[in-house]
Structure 1
Amino acid sequence: MSSSHKKFGARHKARKRAVDFLFEAEARDVDPVALASERTTMATRDETVAPVSPYTVTVVTGVAENLDRLDRVIADHLQDWTLERLPAVDRAILRIAVWELFHATDVPPVVAVDEAVELAKELSTDDSPAFVNGVLGQVVLVAPQVRAAAAATAQSARPAEPESDPVSASGDEA
């Protein structure tokens, strides 16, 4: 093993599997969430099928639920290029990274970008890592505002908490 070889963790493997599912779902024109669910079930029944990480399912579901918005953001940051012209694997990588930048509050932005660049190195063309880095370098600038707006929306959408719960206040347990 060379000193330049990185040891990849569980999250990296989960992201790589998510890229695989998103790529396959797009190629087959099937729902990526259903595909991930199907593979999760298959893995429990057949030990030759690799288990599906919960983070893979989280990422695939998050990307699927936010696909139109993610694609708009990516398209807005492509200079002289269109989303449709990108290699499908690059689309999947960018979708995952942008979803993480906007929604995965436990993933530091630098990690989301670094992971996407690493996946592009592993899975795509020689030009893809720099391209992915360039696009995400622009998206990362708007990510804090997007996260803050999402948090404010989620906060205002929550029903008001009652002052006290009469059942628990009386000490009666159900």
Structure 2
Amino acid sequence: MGKRREGREAAVQFLFAHELHGEHTAEEQEAFWTIHNAKTSVRTYAETLIQGVLADIPAIDALIEPVLENFRIQRLAAVDRNVLRLAVYELVHVPDVPAAVVINEAIEIAKALGAGESGSFVNGILHKIAQKVRSKSNT
């Protein structure tokens, strides 16, 4: 598994824990990384993603909710919600990663960490969002 995939998975796990427990102290954040036992490069990449998502959750959710079609983001499974948030952050703020790569990585993480249909669900939502936030030349 590559550094970016590991970083993305760690970021989703951190965002999931953050959502369940609220704000974390520096000690609790360090404990997460001790348990996760990530290489420095993986941790650095994950922390960049985590900080970006946490700083932009309202805007990210505003891009996701209209695509959910009569469903509120709070009702999604927590893993799916955080996989979507991370991928939407990347689609909007990390243009050097092609949309197809962002979507594929999100699908694989959703399959690994989520429930049965998580991969298909994430794929459908992200495809619609990518069409809105990325030019056709990047998708």
Q: TM range, normalised to the smaller chain?
A: 0.7 to 0.9
Shift of residue 58, structure 1, vs aligned partner:
0.5
Gaps of 5+ in 2: none
Which residue of the partner structure matches residue 19 of structure 1? Answer: 12
Shift of residue 14, structure 1, vs aligned partner:
0.4
Which residue of the partner structure matches residue 125 of structure 1? Answer: 115
Which residue of the partner structure matches residue 157 of structure 1? Answer: none
Shift of residue 56, structure 1, vs aligned partner:
0.2
Does the 8 Å CA contact 1:23/1:92 hold for their aligned counterparts? yes
Q: What are the superposed Cα offsets for residues 124-173 of structure 1, whole Å, 9 maximum, x if unpaired? A: 1111111100000100011126xxxxxxxxxxxxxxxxxxxxxxxxxxxx
* Residues 60-75 of structure 1 mapped to structure 2, 5 A cutoff: 60-75=50-65
Q: TM-score, normalised by structure 2?
A: 0.86
Overall identity of the aligned pairs, in % = 34
Are 1:50 and 2:37 matched, yes or no?
yes
Distance 1:142 1:107 in 2: 16
If you compute each CA radius of gyration, which structure gives the higher value, 1 or 2? Answer: 1
Distance 1:11 1:83 in 2: 26
* Residues 18-167 of structure 1 mapped to structure 2, 5 A cutoff: 18-31=11-24, 38-39=29-30, 43=34, 50-51=37-38, 53-144=43-134
Shift of residue 96, structure 1, vs aligned partner:
0.4
Q: What are the superposed Cα offsets for residues 93-133 of structure 1, whole Å, 9 maximum, x if unpaired? A: 00000000000122111010000000111011111111100
Q: TM-score, normalised by structure 1?
A: 0.69
Tell me which protein shows more helix as a share of its residues: 2
1:132 is paired with a residue whose SS is helix
Q: What are the superposed Cα offsets for residues 40-96 of structure 1, whole Å, 9 maximum, x if unpaired? A: 8964xxxx6613521100100000111100011111110232101100010110000
Does the 8 Å CA contact 2:10/2:36 hold for their aligned counterparts? no
Distance 2:7 2:94 in 1: 14
Does the 8 Å CA contact 1:78/1:135 hold for their aligned counterparts? yes
Q: Write the letter of the residue equivalent to 1:24.
A: A
Gaps of 5+ in 1: 1-7, 146-174
The runs of at least 4 aligned residues of structure 1 exceeding 6 Å deviation read none
Alignment length (residue pairs): 132
RMSD over aligned Cα, in angstroms? Answer: 2.2
